[in-house]
């Protein structure tokens, strides 16, 4: 494995070197970096031109400038990167650090959401092949995949930002709209759950009645301006998760998995009260450490109590603990929402990555960053989601035709065990490649999304450098995206071997 990794890294360095040289030559020959100053009528024009020449080393031949840039990149290995200066004399290293942190925050979240939802949808549609749900999901995924990014972004800005902000000033849902939403949700839910005609009809009727009542009750509570959850809802949701996760993995009859999950529900409730005042004035490190403990402690309990099913018990308990911690944080977000609306009357932003001079406490800043992330994350996620769902579906269908799947069924194993323990793991192997390339591709593809939403990230760095005929920012963009593509491709090969020990590199 080590020899394979070193060999791949060596070839990757060669590819990056050739690509960087080609890109550098293309950028410097795309125009005149002094063009705007040559047309200027400023009295200090000559001084400004000489200043820019010094910043960009334009007095040197292009190959010496490239070698200088390459040497600055090489110094990154000793912790002192020097990626040159832009046309304004600002160090590109500092600009890249800010831009990369902004873009990676956006792309990482979009990739996680798209992967989780896409894989889940792909598995479901493969199990329910040629059903109404399969046809509906197929239609929607092709629709999302074919959407132009800029057009989808404009639609989201119009309806999920401007329209929602207008509605939030006096949130009302008419009875007719509530009934229509209930019917749509009922149709979707009965299609999702399937079963006999009687079961599907009962699901539709209950949902079509319950959802409108719930919506009208939420309007009566003024939930959309003053949301609330509390410990009772927290316990109910974590309990449902514990039961459903246990049922999906090993079945509710396996007490060695069920009991640790139920103990975790009690722990979540205890920690809700124990950390209530502490989380009133939280910080990022507190949330990170709390999240890690919320996974580690239940996992240890599950491993200790699980016996022969210790692995499944640890996984289920860790999942319940993590989601319970997330719901606890959500409760505090709900409590901070009215104050955030007082600071920022129109919460869903259409442009920028943060609100200047917002004020308020930690939760207000948290909500501001979250609402700024919302729209660009949705745009990137729905486009990637289509790829994940289709590849997962085709991979699952192919795996289900294999001999070992037929053997597992013939041994009398439950369909849940066949799908999740035998088919799903092998179906994930080609998905590893998709995830690797998707993450790297999203960093480069975020240029359009960032431009539409005014997001000061890697896309803005690239566009600004390209317009100014300034190779330093463009090459910094390439350095991150190109390296990400190579490293994630290598990571996909390593994950192959971990998912299937039969694969040898």
Per-residue confidence (pLDDT) for residue 93, from 0 to 100: 87
Please say whether the beta carbons of 459 and 447 come within 8 A. Answer: yes
Which pair of structure tokens corresponds to residue 113? 């959401």
Is the residue at 123 inside a domain?
no
Q: How confident is the model at residue 281 (pLDDT cuts 50, 70, 90)?
A: confident
Alpha-carbon span 320 to 301, nearest angstrom: 12
Dihedrals phi, psi of 91, to nearest 5 degrees: -60, 125
- Average confidence (pLDDT) over 80-93: 84
pLDDT at 152 over 80: yes
- pLDDT grade for 82, boundaries at 50, 70 and 90: confident
Please give the residue range of the domain that contains residue 187.
172-221
Q: 236-269, pLDDT tens digit by residue?
A: 999 999 999 998 788 888 899 999 999 999 999 9
By CB neighbour count within 10 A (0-12 exposed, 13-18 middle, 19+ buried), where does 393 fall? buried
State whether residue 174 is helix, strand or coil.
coil
Provide the β-strand partners of residue 91. Answer: 85
Which of 400, 319, 375 is closest to 165 using CA atoms? Answer: 375
**pTM score:** 0.81
Q: Mean pLDDT over all residues of the chain?
A: 86
Structure tokens at 335: 């409590």
Q: Is 359 left (phi over 0), alpha (psi -120 to 50) or beta?
A: left
Is the residue at 184 inside a domain? yes
Residue 370 lies in a domain: no
Residue 166 lies in a domain: no
> Per-residue pLDDT tens for 345-392?
889 988 877 787 787 889 999 999 889 888 988 888 887 888 888 888
Contact 111, 435 (CB under 8 A): yes
In a domain, 202, yes or no: yes
310 within a domain of the structure (yes/no): no
Overall number of domains in the chain? 1
Cα distance between residue 223 and residue 233, in whole Å: 14
In the predicted structure, residue 398 carries a pLDDT above the cut 70: yes
pLDDT of residue 502: 63
pLDDT greater than 70 at residue 497: no
Task: Give whichever of 52-61, 314-323, 443-452 has the largest mean pLDDT.
Answer: 314-323
- Looking at the domain assignment, is residue 199 inside a domain? yes
Mean pLDDT within 190-195: 78
pLDDT confidence bin for 444, thresholds 50/70/90: low
Q: Which own/partner pairs from 68-73 qualify as long-range (CB within 8 Å, at least 24 positions apart)?
A: 69/24, 69/471, 69/472, 69/475, 70/20, 73/479
8 Å CB contact between 260 and 306: yes
Reported as a single tens digit per residue, the pLDDT across 465-484 is: 888 888 989 999 888 888 88
pLDDT bin (cut points 50, 70, 90) of residue 212 is very high
185 in any annotated domain = yes
């Amino acid at each position: 494995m080590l020899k394979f990794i070193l060999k791949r890294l060596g070839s990757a360095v060669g590819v990056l070197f050739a690509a960087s040289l080609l890109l550098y030559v293309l950028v410097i020959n795309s125009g005149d970096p002094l063009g705007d100053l040559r047309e200027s009528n400023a009295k200090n024009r000559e001084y400004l031109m000489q200043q820019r020449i010094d910043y960009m080393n334009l007095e040197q031949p292009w190959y010496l400038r490239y070698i200088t840039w390459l040497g600055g990149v090489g110094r990154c290995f000793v912790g002192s990167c020097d990626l040159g200066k832009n046309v304004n004399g600002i160090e590109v290293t500092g600009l890249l650090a800010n831009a990369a942190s902004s873009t990676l925050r956006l792309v990482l979240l979009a990739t996680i959401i798209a992967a989780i939802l896409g894989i889940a949808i792909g598995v479901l549609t493969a199990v329910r092949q040629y059903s109404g749900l399969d046809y509906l999901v197929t239609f929607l995924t092709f629709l999302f995949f074919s959407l132009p990014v800029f057009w989808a972004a404009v639609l989201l800005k119009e309806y999920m930002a401007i329209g929602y902000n207008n509605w939030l000033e006096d949130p009302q849902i008419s009875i007719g709209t509530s009934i229509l939403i209930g019917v749509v949700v009922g149709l979707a839910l009965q299609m999702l759950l399937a079963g006999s005609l009687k079961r599907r009809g009962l699901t539709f009727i209950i949902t079509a009645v319950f959802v409108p009542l719930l919506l009208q009750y939420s309007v009566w509570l003024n939930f959309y301006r003053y949301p609330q959850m509390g410990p009772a809802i927290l316990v109910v949701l974590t309990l449902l998760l514990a039961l459903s996760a246990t049922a999906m993995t090993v079945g509710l009859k396996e007490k060695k998995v069920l009991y640790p999950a139920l103990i975790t529900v009690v722990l979540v409730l205890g920690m809700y009260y124990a950390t209530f005042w502490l989380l009133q004035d939280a910080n990022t490190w507190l949330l990170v450490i709390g999240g890690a403990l919320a996974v580690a402690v239940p996992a240890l309990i599950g491993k200790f109590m699980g016996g022969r099913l210790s692995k499944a018990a640890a996984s289920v308990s860790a999942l319940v603990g993590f989601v319970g911690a997330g719901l606890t944080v959500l409760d505090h977000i709900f409590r901070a929402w009215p104050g955030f609306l007082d600071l920022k009357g129109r919460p869903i932003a259409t442009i920028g990555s943060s609100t200047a001079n917002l004020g308020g406490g930690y939760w207000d800043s948290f909500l501001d960053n979250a609402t700024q992330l919302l729209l660009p994350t949705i745009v990137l996620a729905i486009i990637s989601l289509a790829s994940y769902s289709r590849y997962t579906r085709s991979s699952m269908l192919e795996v289900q035709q294999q001999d070992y799947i037929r053997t597992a069924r013939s041994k009398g194993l439950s369909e849940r065990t066949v799908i999740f323990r035998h088919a799903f793991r092998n179906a994930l192997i080609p998905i590893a490649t998709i995830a690797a390339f998707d993450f790297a591709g999203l960093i480069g593809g975020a240029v359009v999304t960032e431009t539409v939403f005014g997001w000061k990230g890697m896309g803005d760095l690239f566009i600004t450098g390209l317009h100014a005929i300034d190779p330093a920012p463009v090459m910094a963009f390439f350095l991150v995206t190109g390296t990400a593509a190579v490293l994630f491709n290598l990571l996909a090969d390593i994950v192959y071997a971990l998912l299937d020990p039969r694969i040898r590199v």
